[in-house]
Structure 1
């Protein structure tokens, strides 16, 4: 993680790349008011510092048969470092788990899980998640539809 100071041009670069990661360097330079060489140098600096972590293509989950989104809250029997590490390692290997957060409050973890159907979720729950040592309680809510979904961070 970097604590590099971002100036206005860096912020414009990040905003444009978050909106279109396939933009050419020339288009990006034009959009942020730089010539191509200094623009590319800045992008490389943002990459090397870890501010830009990578580039991805965003895929519509429903278009690839993953139309069920579940938010799963997990309580563990105990919250010592060993059990936390074991749980985190286990869920990191589950392809259905898109996000996992260590939480405060009633749940120890919150997961966002994508599957193709309720029966697939049941299989995931019964054969994977509840088999993780230390899991004591699982509470699930299913998303009806997304209302706000963003991938771009509010860097400006």
Structure 2
């Protein structure tokens, strides 16, 4: 694993500003962080090149996109060898309904964020995961009822 890049106060200001509004022009961003436009652009490109900035995205309301259910699924696997984990991760990467996945510590192995039209669609996916020789021992589902707080970015110390 490579070491994380060293971020100074200006890098952190740039990151905080872009998390708040990734559509900022370079000119507006440079004014916000008190750099020349060329120096600001060089900083942003460096943050992109080192992987600190991994992309730019629009946050969408899933319920305006014919998505009826958002759910989280805790997945417990039978085995934990690198090959078994890789096989499971490859299978979920191929499912467009799995929009986020995390390998975690604790009483289960993965947390999946899944979006589906309805419960029958989720049932088909869950049954497919359980029967696909992926070593799935247990699936525990949590259906999102409402979302009182949305992810809008990471706290950036020193910004």
Fold match by TM threshold 0.5: yes
Residue-pair matches, total: 155
Q: Confirm whether residue 140 of structure 1 aligns to residue 141 of structure 2.
A: yes
Moved more, 73-82 or 6-15: 73-82
Q: Confirm whether residue 112 of structure 1 aligns to residue 148 of structure 2.
A: no
Residue 2 of structure 1 contacts residue 51 of structure 1 at CA under 8 Å; is this kept in 2? no
What are the ranges of 5 or more consecutive residues in structure 1 without an aligned counterpart?
A: none
**How far 1:99 moved relative to its partner?**
1.6
**How far 1:2 moved relative to its partner?**
5.3
Q: What is the CA deviation profile of residues 93-128 of structure 1, one whole-angstrom value per residue up to 9, with x for unaligned ones?
A: 1111122122222212111111122222122222x3
**How far 1:151 moved relative to its partner?**
3.3
Q: How does 1:94-133 map to 2 (within 5 A)?
A: 94-126=95-127, 128-133=128-133
SS in 1 for 2:75: strand
Q: With structure 1 as the length reference, what TM-score do the two structures score?
A: 0.91
Give the equivalent residue in structure 2 for 1:150.
Answer: 151
Q: Confirm whether residue 70 of structure 1 aligns to residue 71 of structure 2.
A: yes
**How far 1:54 moved relative to its partner?**
1.5
SS in 1 for 2:41: helix
- CA distance in structure 1 between the aligned counterparts of 2:4 and 2:104, rounded to whole angstroms: 25
Q: With structure 2 as the length reference, what TM-score do the two structures score?
A: 0.89
SS in 2 for 1:141: strand
Specify whether residues 38 and 9 from structure 1 end up closer, same or farther in structure 2 by C-alpha distance, changes over 3 A only: same
**How far 1:131 moved relative to its partner?**
2.9
Residue 90 of structure 1 contacts residue 132 of structure 1 at CA under 8 Å; is this kept in 2? no
Residue 69 of structure 1 contacts residue 143 of structure 1 at CA under 8 Å; is this kept in 2? yes
**How far 1:130 moved relative to its partner?**
1.9
What are the ranges of 5 or more consecutive residues in structure 2 without an aligned counterpart?
A: none
Give the equivalent residue in structure 2 for 1:57.
Answer: 58
- CA distance in structure 2 between the aligned counterparts of 1:47 and 1:76, rounded to whole angstroms: 35
- CA distance in structure 1 between the aligned counterparts of 2:4 and 2:74, rounded to whole angstroms: 32
Q: Confirm whether residue 90 of structure 1 aligns to residue 91 of structure 2.
A: yes
